[in-house]
Structure 1
Amino acid sequence: MPILRSIEERFIAEKPFKGLNVALSIHLEAKTAYLCKVLASGGANMFITGSNPLSTQDDVAAALVDDGLNVFAWYNCTADEYRMHMTKVIESGPNIIIDDGGDLVNLIHQEYPEKISAVIGGCEETTTGIIRLKAMEKDGCLKFPMIAVNNANCKYLFDNRYGTGQSVWDGINRTTNLIVAGKVVVVAGYGWCGKGVAMRAAGMGGHVVITEIDPIKAMEAVMDGFKVMKMTEAAKIGDIFVTVTGCADVIGKESYKNMKDGAIMCNAGHFNVEVNLPELEEMAVEIKEQRKNCMGYKLKNGKWLNVLAEGRLVNLAAGDGHPAEIMDMSFAIQALSAEHLVKNKGSYDNTVIDVPKHIDQQVALKKLEVWEIEIDKLTETQEKYLNSWNLE
């Protein structure tokens, strides 16, 4: 992760977070651990938890503790334990919050309002978290500025598309050990994550079907060469289903009734609500583990439907998450955005704000440098041309 490494070198010298408490909730695996160490190198007192019960890697969490950081997380924690971990992090009295899905921000607003005055601001990693933040902003209850890291070009164009596209199939393939070629792959949602999942499915020989609620995204999918139909219709022909919407109840009982025997469902959205498990459990006459991270549900009609990783993020709950080269960019934006908030304390309203353009550009240029790629620069004449309305 050379971009983060270069930031770490500067942080060691400048200590931008000296004396500040940073609360972080992101999938706790090796790449996240390095982000935590980079922030700590800048003087931050780190208070860390995971953002999903099945994505925490215990050896990584233990290694961070050995390095003197405060970690509250373990693999496969219960709902009560997960909440306890979040609570411990918030009780630290954070000055900066780095969130993934909005759980920390939600908790401090609802249950720890006395801690809010110390918060300079925060950063949000995911589409789902930004949806929640925008709702808070709309209702007038967001009490500190939050930078929408997910919306940075160097995040969603690469992390969401190429990172999700690769890591989702890594999780599916290592869990099922089945071939993709020749199968019908139904991808629910054609945002940047869905685009990546669909692209990789097609690349492995799958016949891709997209389900959407947005007419423009549906048109994109058609022009990218994919079939588009409603989920209840796609359910009749799908072999593998991947939900990537950020919404709830994307696949439910009406779809289950139509599915093939042996159909496989998984989720790549943040929360485990896209595949409606309570409805599937209610319909099932038998439930058993088919293999690790794969639960089978037998319906009255005799068909077995399979759900990977309890409907949680399949790329992390059944895999290792995005490749390090991808997370190097995303986490560099996190680190630089957190630093920006500290340097500009009090300059922003309590709204969801964009990542400053210079941070996006800085990360992109550093990535090109790592790849040993040089690009052109505008000449003075070209600058003048692009900034002129009179072209005579």
Structure 2
Amino acid sequence: MSETAYPPVSKHLDDVEAAQTEGRRKMDWALQHMPILQALRSEFEAEQPLAGERVGMAMHVEAKTANLVELLALGGAEVAITGCNPLSTHDDVSAALDAHENITSYAVRGVDDEGYYDAIDSVIDHNPTITVDDGCDMIFRIHEEYPELIETIIGGCEETTTGVHRIRAMERDGALKYPVFAVNDTPMKTLFDNVHGTGESSLATIAMTTNLSYAGKNVVVAGFGYCGKGVAKKAAGQNANVIVTEVDPRKALEAHMEGYNVLPMSEAAGKADLIITTTGNRDVVVEEHFTEMKDGVLLANAGHFDIELDLEALSELAVDAYEARDGVDAYELEDGRRLNVLAKGRLVNLASPIALGHPVEVMDQSFGVQAVCVRELVENTAAYDAGVHDVPDDLDKEIASIKLDAEGVSHDSLSDEQIDYLGSWDHGT
């Protein structure tokens, strides 16, 4: 490691043993409800598919993620991990991971920007052969600061929408120098994690943080991708009046046909009791919108980075700012209106003080996909050139089948004749 390496989490905590015990308790609870990872643990422990590999990770370090990390270590890998968001780390879980002989965790909650990137550098100092990323910060850091490591990296996985946007942009610019699976874009991720996970966890976190109901309120959902669809669906299910804002005419039409009111943000902002952004883009809610908002409005972000709400502009408009409630910062304007920002504009379902992230069952599916993608990179290294790759369909189906088996659900399969029919072109009317 370099002389300036950021120390593991154990060096940051006063009572490491107590933290490890509590973190393990959280991990054990989550694992009870993760049948996919349980099944893969048996396979990975027995077959050691990752023996000799070094996995570098930048993820949300909490109990569900920790079970993925431990799975990779049980499969034979040496794992180093840090957080992908300064406010989503659970220090006790990070400490429990760091106690494992094959895992080093640098994740610490609440670090500043310098500490955040120092911790990523410390993970990279382990010379990973595989990267697992949530937001592309580690992939980007390796390409920008440690290009000499690229020739020994066999591949990586990217977990989230924002990160996939970044790796696809890198690929378009000819800048992505090793293969990366776009885990976010596979059906087992988009249909469950993004829709049900984001929808349920974001709204649950907002409700618990504020102690407020959705019934009868105007909930503005910015963006109608998979995450936005989930938030809109779950909010409507709690009797909210859902308004969707969109820049894509097809998605705007889809939202309209689903029965939602579709408006530009310039009109929606003044009607909102809650605005929740899900776009993955910047400057979604800006000064012109703040000036139109009602007193008491809630502002939350369910996108990856804290740039969807222009908090710099809001700070300049405000004559006072204070913590109204744990996880809620009130910005009081000159006319007395108070605009309430949750989780400092960061990913609300993970960065709020009481946030727990997506439901355990949902992340079991997504992390199952991550695990088999890491296994695939090791087993079939030569099959993947530098660039972005879709998750092989058979791997996605493998995870679905494990889940169905665990739930005791049977389903039909195609006969040989049906397979032949679907694969032919000469069967006419």
Fold shared, TM-score > 0.5 on shorter chain: yes
**Counterparts of 2:130 and 2:94, CA distance in 1:** 20
Residue 388 of structure 1, CA deviation:
2.7
The answer to whether the 8 A contact 2:39-2:402 is kept is: no
Q: Does 1:255 pair with 2:255?
A: no
**Counterparts of 1:11 and 1:309, CA distance in 2:** 37
| CA deviation profile, 1:315-348 (whole Å, cap 9, x unmatched) | 1112101111111110010000011011111322
Residue of structure 1 in register with 2:6 after alignment: none
1:144 to 145, 164, 178: 178
Residue of structure 2 in register with 1:351 after alignment: 387
Paired residue type of 2:383: S
Partner SS state of residue 181, structure 2: strand
Residue 300 of structure 1, CA deviation:
1.6
Q: How many residues align?
A: 392
Residue of structure 1 in register with 2:55 after alignment: 22
2:115 to 81, 105, 118: 81
**Counterparts of 1:67 and 1:145, CA distance in 2:** 29
Residue 38 of structure 1, CA deviation:
0.2
Partner SS state of residue 38, structure 2: helix
What stretches of structure 1 move > 6 A for 4+ residues in a row?
none
Residue of structure 1 in register with 2:270 after alignment: 236
Residue of structure 2 in register with 1:175 after alignment: 209
1:364 to 387, 390, 400: 400
Q: Does 1:123 pair with 2:134?
A: no
| 1:193-342 to 2 correspondences below 5 Å | 193-318=227-352, 319-342=355-378
Q: Does 1:385 pair with 2:421?
A: yes
Residue 161 of structure 1, CA deviation:
0.2
Q: Does 1:48 pair with 2:81?
A: yes
Paired residue type of 1:109: H
Residue of structure 1 in register with 2:7 after alignment: none
Residue 15 of structure 1, CA deviation:
1.1
| CA deviation profile, 1:231-270 (whole Å, cap 9, x unmatched) | 1110110000000000001001000000001110000000
Structure 1 gap ranges (5+) = none
**Counterparts of 1:383 and 1:314, CA distance in 2:** 45
Aligned-pair identity (%):
49
**Counterparts of 2:228 and 2:55, CA distance in 1:** 32
Paired residue type of 2:409: I
Residue 371 of structure 1, CA deviation:
1.3
**Counterparts of 1:390 and 1:353, CA distance in 2:** 32
| CA deviation profile, 1:344-379 (whole Å, cap 9, x unmatched) | 113222110000010011111111111111111112
**Counterparts of 2:413 and 2:331, CA distance in 1:** 58
Q: Does 1:32 pair with 2:65?
A: yes
- C-alpha change, 1:389 and 1:34, in structure 2 (3 Å) is same
Q: Does 1:373 pair with 2:406?
A: no
The answer to whether the 8 A contact 2:285-2:309 is kept is: yes
| CA deviation profile, 1:243-301 (whole Å, cap 9, x unmatched) | 00000010010000000011100000000000111111111110000000000001122
**Counterparts of 1:152 and 1:132, CA distance in 2:** 17
Partner SS state of residue 199, structure 2: helix
Partner SS state of residue 346, structure 1: helix
| TM-score where L is the length of structure 1 | 0.99
Question: What is the Cα-based RMSD across aligned positions, in Å?
Answer: 0.9
The answer to whether the 8 A contact 2:368-2:399 is kept is: yes
| CA deviation profile, 1:64-123 (whole Å, cap 9, x unmatched) | 112232000111111111111111011111100000000000100111111111110100
Paired residue type of 2:200: Q
**Counterparts of 1:336 and 1:305, CA distance in 2:** 44
**Counterparts of 1:118 and 1:380, CA distance in 2:** 43
**Counterparts of 1:136 and 1:290, CA distance in 2:** 41
The answer to whether the 8 A contact 2:243-2:261 is kept is: yes
2:198 to 146, 156, 164: 164
| CA deviation profile, 1:105-151 (whole Å, cap 9, x unmatched) | 01001111111111101000011001000110000011101000001
- C-alpha change, 1:95 and 1:299, in structure 2 (3 Å) is same
| TM-score where L is the length of structure 2 | 0.90
**Counterparts of 1:343 and 1:19, CA distance in 2:** 12
Paired residue type of 1:7: L
Residue of structure 1 in register with 2:95 after alignment: 62
Partner SS state of residue 383, structure 2: coil
Q: Does 1:13 pair with 2:53?
A: no
**Counterparts of 1:131 and 1:382, CA distance in 2:** 37
**Counterparts of 1:27 and 1:53, CA distance in 2:** 9
Residue 14 of structure 1, CA deviation:
1.3
